[in-house]
């Protein structure tokens, strides 16, 4: 019903001249499809709801591209209409998403073109009406309990955009949003009254959803309903620092203006971010960002609880996970900065709240190493149990790139990985540095410390061989030496396995199990579809020395007899950092988070439980 109304609106829009009319029939069909499936009457199937978030992200990625591409009318309309066809069941929400984003893109294009025809204006007004209709539809669905949208989730566009966009894109969006308002001002001066529409555009869903949105307290402790100006005029004047000021820059979203001192910043704040529609809109958007992150955190926490319940683990206190966390700050604290958090990084599984990668859980091995919250366990895990650095990195590449989290690997293993990842298997020191900083946000700070450690490791370990090259010195890896430096193998004797279990604890077993799982997946079952079933192999792996496993795997790999995908030569070489199969991620995730909360756990009964129950569950 709603869809048809919306599409009817499109059909009657004056913008048909822009080629939309020819497409309106498609939208009509899509709308009817949706209607035939019953969604417009509020009948949304659970399956569709399951896919809703993902689709929203896809939609917003699409629209986001449009925005960035400065497309004006036709392309967004096309997107909307196509979406109605591809996602008929959830089309109302998609439409809402698209329309709001499209409105934004429309305004953006206006700001850049500084002209907008009356027809386009009319079309925009029509779109706004559609937007309102969709909003009503969503509200109706919510009232009926058919769509369990969280408060503020009606503001899908910007939130999904933030999920889908990289930080730079997000920053650009902020700027774009800022630009919209300025455009409105220009329009006003030009006699074009866009006030109504534009305000809807800039604050779009936010303003409409705001009634549902509890007044959140922003991470900086400021009430989200305050106005920036008031805050700036009262808050920072009494404090030496300001949450919106740091490193000589204005931290206002999308601003980045350089301010030499606090006084200049205050002037800037009062002049550029005064109480106006733009600032208010930006504040609302930020509010939604925070809210979306909280929602995501809640979801992930819920998932964690379910996982732990499934694995017969005592749930940890949900409060820890539901509280908004400042991952960057908490994670970034080095040992010296925060004695409370050993730098082994095993902080609580705050990774679930990582804003940068909201859809991901924390890295598996990170969590597995978090058993005792010490870095050395990380090392032991990574080496003694030969945590598959390649797979781990592949799985959590984006996480490590963005989150200020220390990778759970030794310097040696990281250096080796970096070197082996290259085609010629050699790197200069500087290239190794660059790899570290490129791959890990953590290593973008404290450069003196870790660079020294890198050099120290290169010199210390015989496995790293310095080779004089034409261009200079490069570092290579002596695999034989690298394998040598591994601790004495654990034989497959059950005694050792038992010792491993009793001596290292549950988390370590998980780590070894996980390592074995991934190793087996790596060397034997490269097919993503087989990954999930690799547990059987990994179960066997538990009975043989892990070093044997790793060496065996690597030998097999070096023979190139295994899958090309993760072929040996490394696992470093062909790490598909961004396209790793989701199954694998799903595979390791439970284990990792499981390990992360083992502080609260009592030891499982015996190794039989571990060897039989866990893998069995994993197999299921």
Partner DNA sequence: GTGTCAGTAAACAAAG
Partner DNA sequence: CCTTTGTTTACTGACA
Should residue 515 be labelled a site residue for DNA when binding is judged by CB under 7 A? no
Is the Cβ–Cβ distance between 237 and 266 less than 8 Å? yes
Should residue 459 be labelled a site residue for DNA when binding is judged by CB under 7 A? yes
User: Could you tell me which residues are beta bridge partners of residue 245?
Assistant: 242, 250
DSSP 223: B
Should residue 466 be labelled a site residue for DNA when binding is judged by CB under 7 A? yes
Give the nearest distance from C-beta 464 to DNA in angstroms.
Answer: 8
Quick one: which of 28, 39, 236, 343 contacts DNA (CB under 7 A)? 343
User: Between residues 452 and 616, which has the closer beta carbon with respect to DNA?
Assistant: 452
> What is the tally of helices (H) and strands (E) in the chain?
30, 4
Should residue 416 be labelled a site residue for DNA when binding is judged by CB under 7 A? no
Quick one: which of 336, 424, 578, 620 contacts DNA (CB under 7 A)? 336
Q: What is the C-alpha to C-alpha distance for residues 330 and 351, in angstroms, rounded to an integer?
A: 11
| Region of 14-22, 355-363, 405-413, 546-554 interacting with DNA (CB under 7 A) | 405-413
Should residue 471 be labelled a site residue for DNA when binding is judged by CB under 7 A? no
DSSP 442: G
Q: What are the backbone angles phi and psi of residue 51, rounded to the nearest 5°?
A: -90, 0
Q: What is the C-alpha to C-alpha distance for residues 106 and 350, in angstroms, rounded to an integer?
A: 38
Should residue 444 be labelled a site residue for DNA when binding is judged by CB under 7 A? no
Quick one: which of 13, 508, 550, 570 contacts DNA (CB under 7 A)? 508
Helix, strand, coil percent content, the chain, rounded in steps of 5: 65, 5, 30
Is the Cβ–Cβ distance between 615 and 587 less than 8 Å? no
The number of residues that bind DNA (CB under 7 A) is: 42
Quick one: which of 49, 257, 266, 453 contacts DNA (CB under 7 A)? 453
Quick one: which of 457, 510, 526, 538 contacts DNA (CB under 7 A)? 457
- Among residues 303, 402, 308, which one has the least CA distance to residue 354? 402
Q: What is the 3-state secondary structure (H, E, C) of 107-122?
A: HHHHHHHCCCCHHHHH
Should residue 493 be labelled a site residue for DNA when binding is judged by CB under 7 A? no
Is 39 buried (19+), middle (13-18) or exposed (0-12) by CB count in 10 A?
Answer: buried
Binding mask 256-285 for DNA (x = CB under 7 A): ------------------------------
Quick one: which of 503, 576, 608, 619 contacts DNA (CB under 7 A)? 503
User: Between residues 296 and 381, which has the closer beta carbon with respect to DNA?
Assistant: 381
Should residue 340 be labelled a site residue for DNA when binding is judged by CB under 7 A? no
Q: What is the C-alpha to C-alpha distance for residues 392 and 409, in angstroms, rounded to an integer?
A: 10
Should residue 547 be labelled a site residue for DNA when binding is judged by CB under 7 A? no
User: Could you tell me which residues are beta bridge partners of residue 468?
Assistant: 473
Q: What is the C-alpha to C-alpha distance for residues 589 and 311, in angstroms, rounded to an integer?
A: 13
Backbone Cα Rg of the chain: 27
The token duo for 59 is 């939609």
Is the Cβ–Cβ distance between 142 and 151 less than 8 Å? no
User: Between residues 383 and 580, which has the closer beta carbon with respect to DNA?
Assistant: 383
Give the nearest distance from C-beta 591 to DNA in angstroms.
Answer: 18
Q: Interface residues for DNA in 359-398 (CB under 7 A)?
A: 372, 374-377, 379-380, 383
User: Between residues 274 and 429, which has the closer beta carbon with respect to DNA?
Assistant: 429
User: Between residues 5 and 446, which has the closer beta carbon with respect to DNA?
Assistant: 446
* Residues binding DNA (CB under 7 A): 334-336, 342-343, 372, 374-377, 379-380, 383, 409-412, 428-430, 433, 446, 448-450, 452-453, 455-460, 466, 472-473, 475, 485, 487, 503-504, 508
């Amino acid at each position: 019903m709603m869809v048809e109304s919306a599409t009817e609106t499109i059909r009657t829009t004056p913008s048909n001249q822009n080629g939309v009319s020819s497409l309106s029939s498609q939208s009509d069909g899509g709308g009817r499809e949706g209607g035939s499936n019953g969604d417009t009457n509020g009948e949304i199937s659970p399956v569709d709801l399951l896919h809703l978030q993902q689709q929203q992200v896809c939609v917003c990625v699409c629209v986001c591209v449009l925005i960035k591409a400065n497309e004006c009318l036709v392309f967004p309309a096309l997107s909307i209409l196509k979406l109605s066809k591809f996602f008929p069941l959830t089309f109302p929400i998609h439409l809402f998403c698209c329309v709001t984003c499209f409105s934004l893109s429309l305004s953006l294009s206006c700001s850049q073109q500084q002209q907008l025809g009356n027809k386009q204006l009319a079309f925009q007004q029509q779109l706004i009406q559609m937007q309102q209709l969709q909003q009503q539809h969503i509200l109706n669905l919510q009232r009926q309990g058919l769509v369990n949208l969280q408060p503020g989730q009606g503001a899908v566009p910007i939130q999904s955009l933030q999920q889908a966009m990289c930080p730079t894109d997000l920053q650009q969006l902020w700027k774009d949003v800022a630009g919209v308002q300025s455009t409105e001002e220009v329009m006003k001066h030009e006699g074009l009254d866009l006030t109504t529409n534009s305000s809807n555009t800039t604050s779009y869903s936010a303003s409409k959803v705001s009634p549902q949105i509890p007044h959140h307290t922003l991470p900086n402790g400021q009430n989200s309903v305050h106005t920036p100006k008031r805050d700036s005029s009262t808050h920072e004047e009494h404090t030496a620092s300001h949450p919106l000021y740091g490193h000589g820059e204005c931290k206002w979203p999308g601003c980045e203006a350089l301010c030499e001192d606090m006084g200049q910043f205050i002037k800037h704040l009062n002049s550029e971010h005064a109480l106006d529609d733009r600032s208010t809109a930006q504040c609302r958007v930020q509010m939604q960002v925070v809210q979306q992150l909280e929602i995501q955190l809640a979801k992930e926490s819920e998932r964690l609880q379910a996982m732990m319940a499934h694995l017969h683990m005592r749930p940890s206190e949900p409060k820890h996970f539901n509280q908004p966390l400042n991952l960057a700050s908490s994670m970034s604290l080095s040992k010296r900065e925060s004695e409370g958090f050993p730098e082994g990084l095993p902080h609580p599984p705050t990774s679930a709240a990582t804003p940068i990668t909201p859809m991901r859980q924390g890295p598996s091995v990170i969590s597995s190493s978090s058993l005792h919250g010490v870095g050395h366990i990380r090392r032991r895990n990574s080496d003694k149990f030969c945590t598959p650095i390649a797979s781990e990195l592949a799985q959590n590449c984006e996480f490590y790139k963005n989150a200020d989290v220390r990778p759970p690997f030794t310097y040696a293993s990281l250096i080796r990985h970096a070197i082996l990842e290259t085609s010629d298997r050699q790197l200069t020191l500087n290239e190794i540095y660059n790899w570290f900083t490129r791959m890990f946000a953590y290593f973008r700070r404290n450069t003196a410390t870790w660079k020294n450690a890198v050099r120290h490791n290169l010199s210390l370990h015989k496995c790293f061989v310095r080779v004089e090259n034409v261009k200079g010195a490069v570092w290579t890896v002596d695999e034989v030496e690298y394998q040598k430096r591994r601790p004495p193998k654990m034989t497959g004797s059950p005694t050792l396995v038992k010792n491993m279990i009793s001596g290292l604890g549950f988390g370590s077993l998980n780590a070894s199990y996980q390592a074995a799982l991934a190793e087996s997946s790596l060397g034997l079952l490269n097919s993503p579809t087989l990954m999930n079933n690799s547990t059987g192999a990994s179960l066997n792996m538990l009975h043989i020395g892990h070093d044997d496993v790793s060496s065996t795997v690597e030998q097999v790999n070096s023979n190139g007899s295994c899958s090309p995908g993760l072929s040996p030569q490394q696992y470093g070489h062909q790490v598909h950092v961004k396209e790793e199969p989701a199954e694998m991620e799903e595979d390791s995730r439970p284990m990792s988070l499981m390990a992360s909360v083992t502080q609260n756990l009592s030891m499982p009964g015996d190794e039989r439980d571990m060897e039989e129950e866990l893998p069995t569950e994993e197999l299921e």
